[in-house]
Structure 1
Amino acid sequence: MLKKIYVVRHCEAQGQPSESQLTEEGLKQAKYLVDFFSNTKIDRIISSPFLRAIQSVEPLSEKTNIKIEIDERLSERTLSTTDLPDWYEKLKATFKDMDLKFEGGESSKEAMNRIVNVVKEVIKSGTGNTLIVSHGNIISLLLKNYNNDFDFECWKNLSNPDVFQINCINNEVNFERIWDEV
C-alpha cells in the first residue's frame, strides 16, 4: 500500500524563538497552503509545538476539519543554548559530523532520530496520508536520513514554506520536493 507523508516547512516567521508568529507574508502563505493541498487527501496533521508551525497549518486544519496533533519531537533542533556568533559555520559542520554537539544542543544524529521516529510511527499507523509541519534544519536531517546527499547546501536552498512528499511503498521510502513557490 502506498502511504504518503507530506512534510511541510513552516511559512515565513518573525523570528526563531518558539513563540515567534508568522509574518503578514507568512499568513498569506498559510492560506496558499490550503489551495496547494486542495486536491490532496489528508487524513492527519501533526505539527511542531512552535507557534509558527501551528499557524502554518491552521487554515488547512480549519478547511479540512482535521485537528492538529502536537508532537514535541518535531520541534526545531537546538544547535546550542549559548550564543554562537559563527552559528552558520557550526551548523554546516554538523552536516558533516553527525555526532558533533555544542553546549546545550543536540547533535544532527539525535535530532534526526527524533523526527525519523515520528515518520516511522506514521508509516506503521493505519492512517493514510499524513501532513507533518516542522522546521528547516530538522526536516533537512529527516531527508538526509533517506538520502545522504541531502546536505547543508540543500538546507540553504529550502524555502518558507517548502513541501516534500515522502512515499512509502512496501517499506521502501523515497521523497521528492513538490512545492511550487509563489
Structure 2
Amino acid sequence: MAVVSISRQYGAGGVKLGMKLAERLGYQFVDRNLLGQVAEQANVSLKWVEEVEKEAGGLMARFVAEWARQHPHVRNIPDASTRFDETAYRAFLTRVISNLAAGDRVVFMGRGSQYILKNNPKAVRISLVASEQTRIANLMEHYSVDRAKAEHVVNKEEKRRLAFLCGFGEGKSEETACYHAVLNTGLVHQDDAVDFICKLVERIG
C-alpha cells in the first residue's frame, strides 16, 4: 500500500487528476476543503463528525476527536469557527496528514504534503505543472471567466501557494528534487498521467 502527494501549480488541473487517481486506486481523496474544515472546526458537532466519517472513511473523524480531547479550550460555537494563524495551521496540517498517511491508501492534494511526507517511504510525491497560458485557459473554461480575470486569479493564487510552501523551511518554495516525478499537464493527457502515477504507486507501494 502507498500514499500519494500531489502538488500542483494553480490552474494545472490537479484536483480533477487527483480525484480520478483516487477513484482508480480505490484510495481516499483528501483535498484543501476537507483539511480546511478540520483546521477551523477542531471541536466539532456530532452532525459534522458524522459527515466527515462518511466522507473520510472514519480516519479523519477519529483524529479530530483525539485532537479535540487534547485541546479542551477550543469550543464549538454555532455559525463560527476557530481561526488558526498560519504557523499553527501548518503544524496542524502536519499532524493531520501524518496521521492519515499512517493508514495508507490516501491521495493528498497539496497543503505541503510533499514536505510533510518527505521521509515516508510509502509516499509517492508528484508535482503537476503547466504553462501560464495553459493554466489561464483552464480557469477560463472551468469557471467561465474572461482572460483578464483568469490571469489575475492564476498569478494571485500561485504566489499565495508558493509563499505557503516557503513556510515549511525547505529552502526553495518548489524544490523539484523532492518529487518522484514532475508532469506537465499541458503536454501529458490526464489519463496518461493517471496511468503513469498508478505504475509508480504499484512499484513503490
TM-score of the two chains, using structure 2 as the length reference? 0.31
Greater relative contact order structure (CA < 8 Å, 6+ sep) = 2
**Higher radius of gyration, 1 or 2:** 2
More strand by share: 1
TM-score of the two chains, using structure 1 as the length reference? 0.34
